[in-house]
Chains A and B, each alone.
Chain A
Amino acid sequence: MTALNTGGRLTAPATPKLARRRAPRRRAGLAGYAFVAGYVILLLAFGVFPTLYAVYLAVTNDRGQFTGLGQFIKVIQDYRFGPAFSDILIYLVLWLVILVVLTVVVAVILRSRMRPGLSSVFRFLFYIPGALAGVASVLVWMFMLDPGVSPVSGLLNALGLSTFSEVIAPQSLPVIFVLIAFWTGAGGWIVVMYGALNNIPDEIIEAARMDGAGPWKSAWFIQIPMISKWIAYMTILAFAAGTQLFIEPQLLQSASLGRLNPTWSPNQLAYVLAFQFGDFNGAAAVSIFLLAIGLVGAGILVTRSGLFKADNE
């Protein structure tokens, strides 16, 4: 989240275009390379190299022979491939819609409809669950979802759920995973959206008010359009993280002693292929599918939202 650290200024200073284009090339010192070297080396070692290795594995078999698209065709034909990807699709649609709508609405309310002191208390409260590490938060939810021990068992009983196995019925799983993801992840994004709203100059809001825009109108026509790039940014990261869903279904699977499909999500399928069947090549092919989906999703969002376009163009 480097954007946060740089102060989150989305509105570029009004530098004249021509002047910027013709700026003389500064002589680069070695210091610059030294500064980026640390990151680049780690990126190559733990990001780029593993990706290339996965590509290599995905186009070969376990004897090291070249198979072309064979591995991809093999995993598509696997009976677990379709269900895993449709599970993750349902989850992603639910998760992204809920995330975008709720975080933006909450951020707007915190920014414009609440006293500053109260607003900061809420922001802090929203953020707390996000500070809990992934596995710990899943464990918290296992207690929440087991009517036998849950502090909200009354609520679960009211929904007609009296046992843990009823709660984790297959059709409820996407909702459960969205709940966990929202509870752990949304707080951070509410804070980010709040920061983005802070960047909108007061004069603009004031001008809107003088033109007769009420709070909801100015939110809809001024605030939300002006943070649209932030929303796109959040969607890209949430989309990428969402396709990687693994810990939640995996832990729930073992905690329920196998009452969940062990290949519920594509990442679980890759895991089972690699470590249960020793099919590292097939697993790599599944991961390349996930990579491609992530890249295409990000590409569409970046071009549609103009995320990387400078404002003055």
Chain B
Amino acid sequence: MKSPMVPNSGTSKRRVVRAALAVVSFSVSVAVLAGCASAAQSTATGAGSFTKATQNDKSTITVWTDSTRLPAVQAYQKSHPNTKLNIVTFDGSADGSTYLQTKIQLFDRTGKGWPDVVFASPTDVTWASKPTTPSAQAFAAPMDELVSKSTLDNFAKGSLTPCEYNGHTYCLRNDIAQVVTWYNKSLFDQFGYTVPTTWEQYEALGATVAKEHPGYVLGWVGDSNSQESYFWSSQCPAFDLVKPNTLRVALSDPDCTRMATVLDSMIANKSISTQASNNADFIKDVAPKVLMAVGPSWYGQYIFNGGFKTPAGQIAAANPMTWDGDSTAATGNVGGAVWMVSSHSKNLKAATAVTSWLTTSNANQGGAPTYPAYSPAAKVWLANPANSKYFATDVSGAFTTAANEVWTGWSNTKFSDSTAWSSVVLPALTAGKTLTETLPAWQSAIVDEAKSVGYTVTTK
């Protein structure tokens, strides 16, 4: 391991070090003195219209979908053999994944490779509606220039709000995920309980269940989206865009602490689990003892039927719970994805046709796995026996009521609302802390994230 390259004598080594130091300090001082430009990133402004690529109606279009909607895209391919589709499956931006954003950033830098149609989360629209670099064009094409106004007007009230930016609509909503009160009717009948209609009754039932049937739970908070089921329903101003660039994060607000108090008392008596619902242990040990759950419309098929394998005819849904003395009923929304068309697409006609079919057609949405955001399709969906036969009672009443009660104060921000919840709050709960004492840490994590993406933050 001899290296004749390194000078052996002490003096020459010192000389080299001194010379190197001189070079470094010189270049540093030049750099500092040179009157530098700002290191801040360019703030992109959303340009309304976009430059279309040269169009070719025959070209193949690439569709990125999550695995849940893969059968829908394949069905389109089957019924429209003349459109050539290249179907790619990805994580669909679930659980705060930034895969799609990562890839689009890269395509924007290389100037090619964009998919034509993507399935995405509403969070994705916040970056896709603006250029990612000064030279790039916003990824999402304005749908208001591609589909008719009557089509847009038929989407459920407020469901396109996450798509809107600068007077344009950059996505079509696939589904809404209004939070309802799920309960196991068979177990409720067997135990002789009544379904709570207020959060106060919910907390009281928790104490009763803990005493009479320990081991049974009325819900869980360990999922990466549990904050949307509970704190959104409580109208907690955690992600409240009061102005386009001003975010109100006020977790000390009574509307937040009231929910934390209810959950803390139920976590303490173990009537609410802090585990994640997809955890193998949870499915094995806790799932058969789930009496109730506060969660979105897709819990029925995805969590109870698909995940927990609860037999058909047991699960039912009730209207969202209210607070004693509260006049307005409010509920949360957990997910509810969107479809976007790429502004770089060489075949906008086919891309728009696929997107419209996926989001608005009865053929697809009438039998979709989740509750359609397109109102005419939602009626067909509710009437479809395949969507109701699993449940003990008719869920359409609860679904329709909840769809109109989604609170609008929980905004669609440039960062995912699940990162801070999953990486700060859930580990603290696992370590035995209460939600009430974790609220300040959650607050500061959200504030840090919000500031880093350029929001002005108010905490009052």
Chain A residues engaging chain B, CB cutoff 8 angstroms:
3, 10, 12, 59, 61-63, 65-71, 73-74, 78-80, 146-149, 162-166, 168-170, 229, 233, 254, 257-262, 272, 274-282, 307-310, 313
Residue ID in chain B nearest A10 by CB atoms: B1
- How many residue pairs link A and B with beta carbons under 8 A? The number is 133
Residue in contact with B34 in the complex, picked from A66, A80, A164, A262, CB distance below 8 Å: A66
Q: Mark B410-424, 1 if CB is under 8 A from A, else 0.
A: 000000001100110
Check A3 against B38 for contact (C-beta < 8 Å): no
Residue in contact with B101 in the complex, picked from A66, A165, A276, A281, CB distance below 8 Å: A276
B23 interfacial by beta-carbon distance below 8 Å: no
Residue in contact with A308 in the complex, picked from B1, B39, B448, CB distance below 8 Å: B1
Check A73 against B426 for contact (C-beta < 8 Å): no
CA distance A273 to B121 in the complex (A): 20
Residue in contact with A65 in the complex, picked from B8, B37, B105, B278, CB distance below 8 Å: B37
CA distance A241 to B243 in the complex (A): 46
Q: Hey, which chain B residues are within 8 Å of A63, CB to CB?
A: 37, 42, 134
Q: Hey, which chain B residues are within 8 Å of A65, CB to CB?
A: 36-37
CA distance A165 to B108 in the complex (A): 37
Residue ID in chain A nearest B37 by CB atoms: A65
Q: Hey, which chain A residues are within 8 Å of B102, CB to CB?
A: 275-276
Ranked nearest first, the 8 interchain pairs of A and B with the lowest CB-CB distance are: A70-B39, A258-B422, A65-B37, A68-B36, A275-B102, A148-B280, A68-B31, A74-B39
A-B contact pairs, 10 of them (CB 8 A): A62-B41, A62-B133, A67-B37, A163-B430, A166-B430, A257-B276, A259-B423, A262-B423, A272-B98, A280-B109
Check A70 against B36 for contact (C-beta < 8 Å): yes
Q: Hey, which chain A residues are within 8 Å of B132, CB to CB?
A: 278
From residue A142, how far is it (CB to closest CB) to chain B in Å? 12
Q: Mark B223-239, 1 if CB is under 8 A from A, else 0.
A: 11000000000000000
| Known A163-B279, A275-B98; further 15 A-B contacts with Cβ < 8 A | A61-B42, A63-B134, A66-B31, A67-B37, A67-B39, A68-B36, A69-B32, A70-B39, A79-B452, A165-B279, A257-B278, A258-B418, A275-B105, A278-B133, A310-B2
Q: Hey, which chain B residues are within 8 Å of A282, CB to CB?
A: 39, 41
B281 interfacial by beta-carbon distance below 8 Å: yes
Residue ID in chain B nearest A281 by CB atoms: B39
Check B32 against A68 for contact (C-beta < 8 Å): yes
Q: Hey, which chain B residues are within 8 Å of A70, CB to CB?
A: 36-39
Q: Hey, which chain A residues are within 8 Å of B34, CB to CB?
A: 66, 68
Check B280 against A149 for contact (C-beta < 8 Å): yes
B275 interfacial by beta-carbon distance below 8 Å: yes
CA distance A233 to B3 in the complex (A): 14
Check A3 against B276 for contact (C-beta < 8 Å): no
Check B279 against A148 for contact (C-beta < 8 Å): yes
Interface residue range, chain B: 35 or more
Check A61 against B426 for contact (C-beta < 8 Å): no
B242 interfacial by beta-carbon distance below 8 Å: no
Q: Hey, which chain A residues are within 8 Å of B38, CB to CB?
A: 61, 67, 70
- Residues from 1 to 59 in B contacting A, C-beta threshold 8 Å: 1-3, 6, 8, 28, 31-32, 34, 36-42
B372 interfacial by beta-carbon distance below 8 Å: no
Check B3 against A308 for contact (C-beta < 8 Å): yes
Q: Hey, which chain A residues are within 8 Å of B419, CB to CB?
A: 258, 262
- Chain A contact residues: helix, strand, loop or mixed: loop
CA distance A275 to B106 in the complex (A): 7
Q: Hey, which chain A residues are within 8 Å of B37, CB to CB?
A: 61, 63, 65-67, 70
Check B98 against A276 for contact (C-beta < 8 Å): yes
CA distance A127 to B69 in the complex (A): 44
Check A165 against B452 for contact (C-beta < 8 Å): no
Q: Hey, which chain A residues are within 8 Å of B42, CB to CB?
A: 61-63
Q: Hey, which chain B residues are within 8 Å of A73, CB to CB?
A: 39
Residue in contact with A62 in the complex, picked from B98, B134, B453, CB distance below 8 Å: B134
- With contacts A67-B36, A74-B39, A258-B419 known, is A163 near B101, CB below 8 A? no
- With contacts A68-B31, A258-B95 known, is A61 near B40, CB below 8 A? yes
Check A163 against B275 for contact (C-beta < 8 Å): yes
From residue B342, how far is it (CB to closest CB) to chain A in Å? 17
CA distance A299 to B453 in the complex (A): 37
Q: Hey, which chain A residues are within 8 Å of B281, CB to CB?
A: 147-148, 162-163
CA distance A175 to B423 in the complex (A): 18
Q: Mark B113-149, 1 if CB is under 8 A from A, else 0.
A: 0000000000000000000111000000000000000
From residue A74, how far is it (CB to closest CB) to chain B in Å? 4
Residue ID in chain B nearest A9 by CB atoms: B1
Residue ID in chain A nearest B31 by CB atoms: A68
Q: Hey, which chain B residues are within 8 Å of A165, CB to CB?
A: 222, 275-276, 279, 426-427, 430
- With contacts A62-B133, A257-B422, A259-B422 known, is A274 near B41, CB below 8 A? no
CA distance A148 to B281 in the complex (A): 6
Check A59 against B31 for contact (C-beta < 8 Å): yes
- With contacts A61-B41, A262-B423, A278-B105 known, is A313 near B8, CB below 8 A? yes
Check A146 against B31 for contact (C-beta < 8 Å): no
- Residues from 149 to 193 in B contacting A, C-beta threshold 8 Å: none
Residue ID in chain A nearest B423 by CB atoms: A261
CA distance A164 to B41 in the complex (A): 39
Check B96 against A258 for contact (C-beta < 8 Å): yes
Q: Hey, which chain B residues are within 8 Å of A277, CB to CB?
A: 41, 452-453
B97 interfacial by beta-carbon distance below 8 Å: yes
Q: Hey, which chain B residues are within 8 Å of A61, CB to CB?
A: 37-42
CA distance A91 to B98 in the complex (A): 26
Q: Hey, which chain A residues are within 8 Å of B423, CB to CB?
A: 258-262
CA distance A59 to B1 in the complex (A): 36
Check A257 against B40 for contact (C-beta < 8 Å): no
- With contacts A10-B1, A66-B34 known, is A79 near B95, CB below 8 A? no
From residue B451, how far is it (CB to closest CB) to chain A in Å? 8
From residue B332, how far is it (CB to closest CB) to chain A in Å? 19
Q: Mark B389-423, 1 if CB is under 8 A from A, else 0.
A: 00000000000000000000000000000110011
Residue ID in chain B nearest A3 by CB atoms: B1
Residue in contact with B2 in the complex, picked from A12, A146, A162, A275, CB distance below 8 Å: A12
Check B279 against A169 for contact (C-beta < 8 Å): no
Q: Hey, which chain B residues are within 8 Å of A68, CB to CB?
A: 31-32, 34, 36
From residue B137, how far is it (CB to closest CB) to chain A in Å? 14
CA distance A71 to B95 in the complex (A): 31
- With contacts A69-B32, A258-B96, A279-B41 known, is A170 near B280, CB below 8 A? no
